[in-house]
Amino acid sequence: MPAVASQGLEFDAPSGLAFGGRYLWVTNYNGNSVAAVDPSNGAWVATYRGAGYGFDRPSAITDVGSDLFVADAAGFVTELDATNGAAVRTIRGAGYHFADPVAIASSHDTLLVLNAGQPPSVTEIDIATGKLIRVASSPGFDDPVAMAVWGDDAFVANQASNAVTEVDVLNGVQVGAPITSPGHISSPDGIAAEDGYVWVSDSATNAATQIDAATRQVMRTVNDGSYGFNTPSVALAWPGYVFIATPNGTSPMVTMVNAATGAGGWNGSSPSYVCNTNGPYYFSNISAMAVSGDDLWVASRTGDNYPAHSAEYGSLTELSTTRFNGLLRTVS
C-alpha cells in the first residue's frame, strides 16, 4: 500500500471509523488525514494526507463496496479506493450544498451526506458516477447532528427540536411530521437503526429511545442505572444490537442494548456497559465506533485516560462483543 508520511502522528482527533478492504480506516479531524490500521493486530499501516487528497477537517466516513467516502467539514466529499488508499475523486460544487457535513451513509446505490449548515439538508449522490441526485431540504431539520438509514429511509436526529425526521431516499421527501416524544427524545445526539428499530441517544435525559421504523411509534425509553448512560452520544448498529457511547464524564463507557427488546447486558452479561472503571479501556471523549465480526473498535478523540504519551491526540480501543470485559488492545 502506498503511504504518505505520517509525520509522527497516527491519530489527531479521530472523528470517524469504517472498515474497507482489509483495513480499519480512521478520519483525523484535526490532522486533515485518513489513517489505515490493520485490524488483525492494531498496527498502523499508512496515513493519507496532502495535496493528492486535500482533506480539510474530515468529519465522517462510510464504506460502500470497495470504496470509502469521506465527508469533509470544509464542504466536499473524498472518495478513496479501500484496497490501497488511492484517491478516486473529489466530489464538490455549489450544487451539492455541502454545508458543514456531519454524517455520511448509503442506501442502496445512493450516497447520503447530512449537512448541518444552513439550510440543513441531506445531499443525495449517485455512488457510481458521483453525480448529484438531489438536495433534500426539510422543515423538520433543526440542528441535525446524526443520521441512520433503514431500508429506503434516512432518519435524522435533530438536537434543537428534540425530534427525529424521516426522509424517503427515493424522492427526498419528508415522511410525516417529525417524530417527537416530550420528556424522552431530548437533545438527541446519536442515532442507529437495526432490526426494524431506530434508537436515539438522548443526551439531556441520560436515556435511549426506541422507535419502530415502520410505524414511527416510540416504543420505549431506557434510562435506569444499569445502562450507565451519562449524556450518551454516539450510536452504532450491530446485528441484533445497538452500541451507545457516553463520551465524557468521570467514566466514559459503551453500552450494549438489544435492538428489539431494549434489554441491556453485554452479550447477556451484566452490567450492560464497559467503562474505564470496570476495565482499562482508556475511553476519552468517544467520537466514533465500528464493528467487524466480533470485534468492536472505539475511537477516542483525545488520549487523556491513556498513559502512553503517543495517545495525546487520540486512540483506538478494540474489544470483544461476545465477552464482557473483553479488552483486546489499545492503539495510539
pLDDT band at residue 82, thresholds of 50, 70 and 90? very high
**Whether the bond into 2 is cis, omega within 30 of 0:** no
Whole-number Å distance between alpha carbons of 281 and 258: 22
Does the structure show a pLDDT above 80 at 272? yes
Average pLDDT over every residue of 115-128: 97
Question: What's the distance, CA 22 to chain centroid?
Answer: 20
235 domain residue, yes or no: yes
Residue range 32-51, pLDDT digits in tens: 999 999 999 999 999 999 88
Residues 6+ apart with CB under 8 A from 79: 67, 68, 69, 70, 87, 88, 89, 90, 91, 130
The CATH number of the domain where 254 resides is what? 2.40.128.630
The dihedrals phi and psi of 40, each to the nearest 5 degrees, come to -75, -25
Domain count for the chain: 1
pLDDT at 159: 96
Q: Is 239 a domain residue?
A: yes
Q: What is the mean pLDDT of residues 230-255?
A: 91
Other CB atoms within 10 Å distance of the CB of residue 90: 16
Report the percentage of the chain scoring pLDDT > 70: 96
Q: Is the alpha carbon torsion for 203, 208, 214, 218 positive or negative?
A: negative
Residue 278 reports pLDDT greater than 80: no
State residue 38's pLDDT score.
Answer: 95
Q: What is the pLDDT of residue 7?
A: 45
pLDDT of residue 331: 86
Q: What nine digits make up the cell of 24? A: 480499519
Q: Which domain holds residue 207?
A: 189-332
In angstroms, the CA 16 to CA 30 distance is 12
3-class secondary structure per residue, 232-260: CCCEEEECCEEEEEECCCCCCEEEEEECC
CA distance 155 to 175: 10
- Alpha carbon distance 290, 319 (integer Å): 11
Backbone angles phi, psi at 239, to 5 degrees: -45, 115
Using only C-alpha atoms, the chain has a radius of gyration, in whole angstroms, of: 18
* 166 within some domain: no
Give 160-212 pLDDT, tens digit per residue: 999 999 999 999 999 999 999 998 999 999 999 999 999 999 999 999 999 99
Report the pLDDT value the prediction gives residue 310, as an integer from 0 to 100.
Answer: 65
- Residue 247 located in a structural domain: yes
pLDDT of residue 2: 42
pLDDT at 305 over 80: no
At residue 309, the pLDDT reads 62
- Per-residue pLDDT for 265 more than 90? no
Rounded average pLDDT over 64-82: 97
Question: Per the domain annotation, does 222 fall within a domain?
Answer: yes
Residue whose C-alpha is closest to residue 17's, from 299, 212, 231: 299
Q: Examine residue 65 and state whether it is found in any structural domain, yes or no.
A: no
pLDDT at 1 over 50: no
Quick one: pLDDT at residue 238?
94
The pLDDT assigned to 9 comes to: 52
**Percent of the chain predicted with pLDDT > 90:** 77
Specify if 61 maps to a domain: no
Query: Does residue 84 lie in a domain region?
Result: no
pTM for this predicted structure: 0.94
Q: For residues 146 and 101, what is the distance between their CA atoms, to the nearest angstrom?
A: 10
The whole-angstrom separation of Cα 205 and Cα 225 is 12
